[in-house]
Chains A and B, each alone.
Chain A
Amino acid sequence: MPERMFTLLIWGAALLVTGALLWLLADTVLQGVAHLSWAFIVDAPEHAGRDGGIGPILVSTLCILGVALLVSLPLGLGAAIWLAEFSRQGGFLGQIIRLSLDVLAGVPSIVYGLFGNAFFSLFLGFGFSILSGGLTLACMIIPVFIRSCEAGLSAIDHGWRHGALALGMSRSTAVWYILLPAAAPAIIAGLMLGIGRATAETAALIFTSGYVDRMPESWMDSGRALAVHIYDLSMNVTGGNAAAYASALVLVTLIVLLNVLAQAMTDRWVKRRIFSA
């Protein structure tokens, strides 16, 4: 194959993919903007979502995400710190935990949905609720988050670890003041991955947080997530496509916004750690 052909092929593949992806992006943005308004964001849905807005759905989405992060963030970070800093190298317990996390990371989201339905909704009696949905999502993102944090902590130069211990500092202090800030980029990457997955998730929520599109009044109320709303509009509601695209645009914007927010918060945190005496 002549050199020029190959170059052409590579450029062709890049153009093809860019074209398709931009097509998708443009459709989402253009069709979304056409139906989008302030009223759409704050109003309650009417006629199964054809009219009205997504106000209560947005609230439910954020509540579900909040529950998921509230549970997975401390638990995941704690587990990662233990794995990276406290567990004995090559220790049995550490290996078992790592193996199960790897397995968990591969489980398809719909299976998490099955589990959430069987465990949180039925066994623990949370029913179809924001709590069930949030906890199911937490289970889903914890393995990915832990592995990302652990990789970040393990990649840190051993000099700092030994330096801190040689100064008679406790491991806890070393972790909190030195290692965590140094691993912040990896932690934030894991967090963003988790937020992205949790916000985008549909399959695991259908049978855990449910379909109800009213404004949720407590953690035990069923709440429809934005992704579920999009699915419902496009599959079950004829004439719901315009609203579906507008919701999709809101969802994508939400994911991007949360990512930017998480990034900014870490930056501030790292700065405060470095510059406060």
Chain B
Amino acid sequence: MTINNSTTAYTLGNMTLGQACCTPVPHLQIKKLSIAYAGNTVLDDVSLDIYKGCITALIGPSGCGKTSFLSSLNCLLALIPQASVTGHIYFDRDDIIHDAIDTMRLRRRIGMIFQKPNPFPLSIRRNLTLPLREHGVRNRYLLAEKVEQALKDVGLWDEVKDRLDGSALALSGGQQQRLCIARALVLEPEILLMDEPCSALDPIASGVVESLIKRLQGRYTVVIVTHNLAQARRVANYAAFFWMKERVGTLIEFGRCVNVFEHPRNPLTLAYVRGQAG
């Protein structure tokens, strides 16, 4: 089963069956993106394509605008007062910065996972059904089916199937994060944005979540911010290296993961991936 290059509908099997692939077709096109808070530019002139079905890792030191960049992709940055975004982000032929788009619908198609697991203070089941109901799914059986599928996709089903009506906050950190991923997947998004999804977890939970992310490859377009270079190298197909230049974040190098890590063109990248800078 392959992913069509066009934007027409395509079918994927159950996560455990489907075949992983990665086609270099831009899913998101970012052109000359700049972000400023209250007039202070934090990220300047970033142009970058995010490829469909691939995992793109954003690496670089803290404070160089990676998270701001990520939040601009689903318009979450607009929530922060005084934040301004300039440039273009093309998604599905629309410019999500300039066109009058429905951000709710956009966010349904571009899911986001946060650094700190944030399951709602509701039952496990309701954490998944609430967003579905919000997007118009009312049928009981369909809801149950989707909940089960999403939990199976993230490998949580066997752990929680007996306590779906228990509080989601009673889960462990790793389980909470996988529930959050399931909550994003249940809406069947096309793109998943992940903001250091493993950094608040212990090493074992982190490993479980990481292998889950790797399995998303080919089925979802994933953009992941991480400070863990080894992790980026393990899971990502593409890597983008951000760096601070005169207190303004900027994109230094973008390319296939192998290239960025093994044969970087920019000396800054080389120093960073070798652990000599940042």
A165 lies within 8 A of B79 (CB):
yes
Tell me the minimal C-beta distance from A236 to chain B in angstroms: 53
Per the 8 Å Cβ criterion, residues 142-172 of A in contact with B are: 157, 159-160, 162-170
B126 at the binding interface (Cβ < 8 Å): yes
Question: Can you name the residue of chain A whose Cβ is closest to the Cβ of B131?
Answer: A167
Known contacts A168-B108, A168-B134, A274-B167: A182-B121 contact under CB 8 Å: yes
Chain B residues with CB under 8 A of A277: 123, 125-126, 129, 143, 165
Q: How far is the CA of A169 from the CA of B130 in the complex (A)?
A: 9
Tell me the minimal C-beta distance from B86 to chain A in angstroms: 20
Q: How far is the CA of A178 from the CA of B183 in the complex (A)?
A: 15
Chain A residues with CB under 8 A of B76: 162, 165-166
Tell me the minimal C-beta distance from B150 to chain A in angstroms: 12
Q: How far is the CA of A276 from the CA of B104 in the complex (A)?
A: 25
Chain B residues with CB under 8 A of A89: 81
Max chain B C-beta neighbours (<10 A), residue from A89, A168, A182, A273: A168
A169 lies within 8 A of B134 (CB):
yes
Known contacts A178-B120, A275-B123: A167-B183 contact under CB 8 Å: yes
Instruction: Classify chain B: how many residues form its interface, as a range.
Output: 20 to 34
- Choose among B107, B119, B122, B165 the residue that contacts A168 (Cβ–Cβ < 8 A): B107
Q: How far is the CA of A163 from the CA of B119 in the complex (A)?
A: 8
- Summed over the interface, the residue pairs from A and B with CB atoms below 8 Å come to a total of 83
Tell me the minimal C-beta distance from A66 to chain B in angstroms: 31
Known contacts A162-B114, A167-B184, A168-B187: A178-B121 contact under CB 8 Å: yes
Q: How far is the CA of A277 from the CA of B89 in the complex (A)?
A: 37
- Choose among B74, B104, B122 the residue that contacts A273 (Cβ–Cβ < 8 A): B122
Instruction: Add 4 more A-B contacts to A164-B120, A167-B111, A168-B131 (CB < 8 A).
Output: A159-B114, A160-B118, A177-B130, A277-B125
Instruction: Classify chain A: how many residues form its interface, as a range.
Output: 20 to 34
Nearest 6 interchain pairs by C-beta: A159-B118, A168-B108, A168-B107, A166-B112, A163-B118, A167-B131
A166 lies within 8 A of B123 (CB):
no
Q: How far is the CA of A170 from the CA of B104 in the complex (A)?
A: 7
A181 at the binding interface (Cβ < 8 Å): yes
A276 lies within 8 A of B114 (CB):
no
Tell me the minimal C-beta distance from B190 to chain A in angstroms: 13
Q: Can you pick out 29 interface pairs between chain A and chain B where the beta carbons lie within 8 Å of each other?
A: A89-B81, A90-B81, A157-B118, A160-B120, A163-B180, A165-B76, A166-B107, A166-B111, A167-B111, A167-B134, A167-B183, A167-B187, A168-B104, A168-B106, A168-B108, A168-B131, A168-B135, A169-B134, A170-B104, A170-B134, A178-B121, A178-B122, A181-B121, A274-B121, A274-B122, A277-B125, A277-B126, A277-B143, A277-B165
A253 at the binding interface (Cβ < 8 Å): no
B120 lies within 8 A of A276 (CB):
no
A37 at the binding interface (Cβ < 8 Å): no
Max chain A C-beta neighbours (<10 A), residue from B79, B119, B121: B121
Taken residue by residue from 168 to 197, chain A's Cβ proximity to chain B (1 for < 8 Å, 0 otherwise) reads as 111001000110011000000000000000
Q: How far is the CA of A162 from the CA of B103 in the complex (A)?
A: 13
Tell me the minimal C-beta distance from B175 to chain A in angstroms: 16
Q: How far is the CA of A277 from the CA of B133 in the complex (A)?
A: 11
Q: How far is the CA of A165 from the CA of B167 in the complex (A)?
A: 21
